[in-house]
C-alpha cells in the first residue's frame, strides 16, 4: 500500500473534528495543538508538484495564530522546521504568498519567542533569498515587549553632553554608564537646551556629528589607504585602546536607536562581526592599489611599515606553489593579526548593546545596509509621498515651483537637501517609501526655508518667482552642515 500524506492529514482532521465535539473550549485548543504538533507537521508534503497539496503551508499559520499565545512559540518552531524542509520546487510553487503569510505569522508570535527560536524561524526567509523588512520586524518585537508603541512610554536614559566638548563628554558618559542602560531607549540632552527631553532629530544630529569627527584621519582612530577608500583599524593606533570599546558601544547605540548614519566602514567589518572570514576582494575594497602590486617575497608594506608574513619573509620568494598561502596570510594579516587588539575592543562594545544571536540573523550585506543605509534615491517617489496640510497642496503654485526647482538640482545639492531636512543623506534599509516630506506655510518670502529633522517638516514661504525660490532654497541647504542647527534655549 502506498503512503499518502493527504490521506493521513484527512484522517487526522476527521478524528480531530469528531473529538472536538465532545470537549470544552480549552480541551479543543489542546486537541488542535496536539494534532498540529504530533500529527500534521510530520505529515506535511515536503516535495509535491501540486499547489493544492502545498496549500496546507498557507493555512497552518492562521490556525496557529488563532490558538492561545502561550502555545505559539512551539508551534512556530515546528512549522518553521517543516517549511525549511521544503524542496526547492515546492518552495517556488508557494512563491511570495508563502513569504507574506510566514512573515505575518512571525510577527504574531515574536513576543513569545527566544532569540534562538527567532533565528531559526527567520533562517528560511534568508535561505530563500526573499526580502524581508527586518527593521520593521524588530521594531514590532521591541514595541510589543514594551507593551506600547508610544515612544514616550519607553524606559529611557539621557546622555548629557556639551556641544563645544562633544567627543570628550561622549567618551566620558559612555565610560561610566552601567550596562543596564545600554538596553533601553537613548535620548541626548545638550547643556542649556531641551530640559528633560529630546527627540529623534537630536539623535540623528548627535550621531552624525560624533561619527564625522571620529572618522577623520587626523583624529587617529582609523586609517585610509587612499583618500576615497573605506576606513580600517590601524596596526598602531594613536589613541588609547579603550576608545575602540566606547566607539563599539556608540555604534551599537546608533543601530538600536534606528539612526541611519554613514560611516565609511568596508564590508569586511560586518563579516568579522558575524564571524565570517574576509577575502581578497575585501582587500580590493580597501585599496585596489595593493592588488596591482607584484609581490615577489613574503613581505608586504602596510600602513608605512614593512611586514614579514612568515618568519624571514623577506628571504622567501612567492611562487606558483605557495601563492595561495601568500594570499591567505596577506588577507589574514590585514583583517586579523594587525588589528586583533583594537577590533576585539570594538566588537566587545558593539555587543554590549546588541544581542549577538539576534544580529547573527543577518548576512554581512544586510547588516551593513541596516547600519549605514544606502544611496538608492527615488526622487519621484519623494515628490509623490509628500504630505500637504493647510494652504499647500500638490497643485499650489509654490509647491509646483518647489518640485521643479528640486528636480533641477544637482545630485550633491539634493543630498544636501536631505541633510537639511532629515539630518543625513542616507536612505534607511526600509527605503524611501515611508520617507515623507511635510511642507508647511511660512508667511514671508523674505525668509529662507526651514526644517524640523524629527518630523521631516519643510517650512516653505510663498515665493513670487521660481528664481527667488531656488536662491532661498540653496541658501538654506548650504547652511545644513555643522553642529547646532537647532536653536539653543538660553
pLDDT of residue 202: 78
Average the pLDDT over 22-44 and give the result: 61
Q: Would you state the pLDDT for residue 403?
A: 97
Q: Which of 370, 177, 181 is nearest to 259 (CA)?
A: 370
Give CA–CA dist 460/482, Å, rounded: 22
Choose, from 63, 64, 382, 454, the residue flagged as catalytic: 454
Place of cell 558593539: 350
Backbone angles phi, psi at 19, to 5 degrees: -70, -35
Number of domains composing the chain? 4
Residues 157 and 219 grouped into a single domain: yes
pLDDT in tens, 132-186: 444 444 444 444 333 334 444 567 888 889 989 999 999 999 999 888 888 888 8
Q: Could you tell me which of 417, 457, 454, 423 has the C-alpha nearest to residue 440?
A: 457
State pLDDT tens for residues 336-390: 999 999 999 999 999 999 999 889 888 999 999 889 888 889 999 999 999 998 8
CA angle 369, 451, 484 (to 5 degrees): 80
DSSP string, 187-222: EEEETTSSTT---HHHHHHHHHHHHHHHTSGGGSS-
Please tell me whether residue 441 adopts helix, strand or coil conformation. Answer: strand
Same domain, 11 and 109: yes
Q: What is the mean pLDDT of the chain?
A: 76
**200 and 235 together in one domain:** yes
Percentage above 90 pLDDT, the chain: 33
Same domain, 208 and 345: yes
CB 160 within 8 A of CB 231: no
Q: Are residues 344 and 218 in the same domain?
A: yes
The residue range of the domain holding 225 is 152-277+340-370
Question: Is residue 103 located within the same domain as residue 32?
Answer: yes
Residue 454 designated active-site: yes
Same domain, 286 and 385: no
- The answer to whether residues 238 and 298 belong to one domain is no
Answer yes or no: do 285 and 272 share one domain: no
136 lies in some domain:
no
Whether 431 and 348 map to the same domain: the answer is no
**Contact by Cβ (8 Å): 236, 301:** no
Residues 28 and 111 in one domain: yes
Amino acid at each position: 500500500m502506498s503512503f499518502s500524506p493527504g490521506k493521513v492529514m484527512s484522517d487526522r482532521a476527521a478524528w480531530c473534528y469528531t473529538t472536538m465535539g465532545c470537549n470544552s473550549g480549552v480541551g479543543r485548543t489542546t486537541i488542535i495543538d496536539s494534532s498540529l504538533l504530533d500529527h500534521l507537521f510530520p505529515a506535511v508534503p515536503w516535495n509535491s508538484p501540486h499547489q493544492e497539496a502545498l496549500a496546507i503551508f498557507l493555512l497552518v499559520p492562521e490556525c496557529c495564530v488563532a490558538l492561545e499565545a502561550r502555545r505559539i512559540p512551539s508551534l512556530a518552531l515546528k512549522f518553521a522546521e517543516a517549511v525549511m524542509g521544503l524542496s526547492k520546487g515546492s518552495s517556488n510553487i508557494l512563491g511570495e504568498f508563502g513569504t507574506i503569510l510566514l512573515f505575518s505569522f512571525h510577527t504574531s508570535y515574536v513576543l513569545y519567542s527566544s532569540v534562538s527560536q527567532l533565528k531559526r524561524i527567520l533562517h528560511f526567509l534568508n535561505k530563500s533569498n526573499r526580502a524581508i523588512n527586518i527593521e520593521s520586524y524588530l521594531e514590532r518585537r521591541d514595541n510589543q515587549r514594551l507593551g506600547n508603541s508610544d515612544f514616550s512610554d519607553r524606559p529611557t536614559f539621557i546622555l548629557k553632553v556639551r556641544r563645544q566638548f562633544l567627543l570628550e563628554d561622549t567618551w566620558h558618559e559612555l565610560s561610566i554608564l552601567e550596562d543596564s542602560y545600554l538596553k533601553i531607549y537613548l535620548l541626548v540632552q545638550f547643556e542649556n537646551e531641551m530640559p528633560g527631553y529630546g527627540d529623534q532629530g537630536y539623535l540623528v544630529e548627535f550621531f552624525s556629528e560624533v561619527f564625522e569627527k571620529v572618522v577623520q584621519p587626523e583624529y587617529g582612530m582609523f586609517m585610509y589607504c587612499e583618500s576615497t577608500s573605506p576606513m580600517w583599524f590601524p596596526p598602531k593606533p594613536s589613541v588609547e585602546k579603550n576608545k575602540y570599546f566606547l566607539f563599539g558601544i556608540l555604534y551599537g547605540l546608533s543601530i538600536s536607536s534606528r539612526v541611519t548614519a554613514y560611516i565609511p566602514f568596508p564590508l569586511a567589518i560586518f563579516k568579522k562581526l558575524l564571524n565570517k572570514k574576509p577575502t581578497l576582494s575585501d582587500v580590493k575594497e580597501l585599496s585596489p592599489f595593493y592588488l596591482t602590486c607584484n609581490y615577489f617575497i613574503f613581505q608586504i608594506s602596510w600602513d608605512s611599515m614593512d611586514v614579514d608574513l612568515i618568519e624571514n619573509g623577506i628571504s622567501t620568494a612567492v611562487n606558483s606553489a605557495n601563492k595561495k598561502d601568500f594570499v591567505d596570510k596577506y588577507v589574514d594579516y590585514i583583517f586579523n593579526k594587525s588589528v586583533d587588539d583594537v577590533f576585539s575592543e570594538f566588537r566587545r562594545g558593539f555587543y554590549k548593546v546588541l544581542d549577538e544571536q539576534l544580529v547573527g540573523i543577518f548576512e554581512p550585506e544586510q547588516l551593513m545596509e541596516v547600519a549605514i543605509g544606502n544611496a538608492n534615491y527615488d526622487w519621484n517617489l519623494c515628490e509623490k509621498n509628500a504630505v500637504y496640510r493647510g494652504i499647500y497642496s500638490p497643485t499650489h503654485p509654490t509647491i509646483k515651483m518647489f518640485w521643479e526647482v528640486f528636480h533641477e538640482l544637482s545630485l550633491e545639492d539634493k543630498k544636501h537637501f536631505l541633510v537639511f531636512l532629515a539630518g543625513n543623506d542616507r536612505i534607511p534599509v526600509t527605503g524611501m517609501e515611508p520617507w515623507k516630506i511635510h511642507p508647511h506655510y511660512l508667511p514671508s518670502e523674505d525668509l529662507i526655508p526651514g526644517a524640523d529633522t524629527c518630523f521631516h517638516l519643510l517650512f516653505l514661504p510663498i515665493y513670487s518667482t521660481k528664481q527667488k525660490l531656488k536662491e532661498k532654497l540653496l541658501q538654506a541647504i548650504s547652511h545644513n552642515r555643522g553642529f547646532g542647527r537647532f536653536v539653543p534655549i538660553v
